[in-house]
Chain A
Amino acid sequence: MRAVSRRNALAIGASGAALTFIGWNDRASAAAKEAAEQIAKFTGGVAAEKSKVTIELPEIAENGNTVPLSVSVEGPMTADNYVSEILVVADGNPNPGVATFRFSPLSGKAEASTRVRLATTQNITAIAKTSKGEFFTGQKLVKVTIGGCGG
Chain B
Amino acid sequence: MAEKPRLKLPKEAKKGEVIEIKTLLPHIMESGQRKDKDGKAIPRKIINKFVCEFNGKPVFTANLEPAIAANPYMQFFAKVDESGTFKFTWTDDDGTVTTAEESITVS
Among B19, B33, B58, the residue within 8 A (CB) of A94 is B33
Per-residue CB proximity of A135-150 to B under 8 Å, as 1/0?
0000000000000111
Q: Is the interface of B mostly helix, strand, loop or mixed?
A: strand
Asked whether any CB of chain B lies closer than 8 Å to the CB of A25, the reply is no
Interface residues of A in 79-121 (CB under 8 A from B): 90, 93-95, 97-109, 111-118
B59–A67 CB distance below 8 A: no
A-B interface pairs (CB < 8 A), number: 100
How many angstroms from the CA of A116 to the CA of B69 in the assembled complex?
5
How many angstroms from the CA of A95 to the CA of B67 in the assembled complex?
8
Among B19, B33, B61, the residue within 8 A (CB) of A102 is B61
Seen from chain A, the residues whose Cβ lies within 8 Å of a Cβ on chain B are: 65-67, 70, 77, 90, 93-95, 97-109, 111-118, 148-151
Seen from chain B, the residues whose Cβ lies within 8 Å of a Cβ on chain A are: 18-19, 31, 33-35, 54, 57-70, 72-79
- Distance in angstroms from B35 CB to nearest chain A CB is 7
- Distance in angstroms from A76 CB to nearest chain B CB is 12
B58–A106 CB distance below 8 A: yes
A115–B79 CB distance below 8 A: no
B63–A107 CB distance below 8 A: no
A109–B18 CB distance below 8 A: yes
Interface CB pairs A-B, < 8 A, 7: A93-B67, A101-B61, A107-B59, A113-B74, A114-B68, A114-B72, A149-B34
How many angstroms from the CA of A107 to the CA of B58 in the assembled complex?
9
Across chains A and B, which 9 residue pairs bring their CB atoms closest together, nearest first? A108-B79, A108-B18, A150-B34, A97-B65, A102-B61, A113-B75, A115-B69, A66-B69, A109-B77
